[in-house]
Amino acid sequence: MSNFGDLFQSADWKQEKHAPVIEGPDEVKKGETFQLQVSVGKEIPHPNTTEHHIRWIEVYFLADGEKFPIELGRAEFTAHGESTEGPNQGPACTEPGVVLRAQLTKSGTLCATSYCNIHGLWVSQKSIKVSE
């Protein structure tokens, strides 16, 4: 069996519709609230159908020098056009994007993971610096 971490795929989100996109500041002040947006399909839209969709996005923070990341948030997308009338006939679809607000006291790495029901697990990262 593969190592679980080996199951995550990564790619440049400008060329791959499955990679999560982390948008937020490169630097924040210690303890100040900032906004972070994570989405899938920014440049190349990802399908959002009953048969092919993004199921969830998770966002983590790994502080420099720490061993374990902290989960900042998780969003599940549960409406993909399902209906008793058939696939893609439903009245609602959720789009794969989330906005988080956070505070940090150390510099580190933001990590976003997402899951496509057809193409599996995806990951991307963004460094963030914390200043006094």
Domain range annotation of the chain: 4-131
Check if 52 is active-site. yes
Q: Indicate whether 34 pLDDT > 90.
A: yes
Check if 27 is active-site. no
pLDDT cut 70: percent of the chain above it: 98
Check if 46 is active-site. yes
Q: Indicate whether 16 pLDDT > 80.
A: no
Q: Annotated catalytic residue: which of 52, 71, 76, 129?
A: 52
Q: Annotated catalytic residue: which of 82, 95, 106, 119?
A: 119
Check if 119 is active-site. yes
Fold type of domain 4-131: Immunoglobulin-like (2.60.40)
Surface-to-core class of residue 35, CB atoms within 10 Å of its CB (0-12 exposed, 13-18 middle, 19+ buried): exposed
pTM over 0.75: yes
Check if 58 is active-site. no
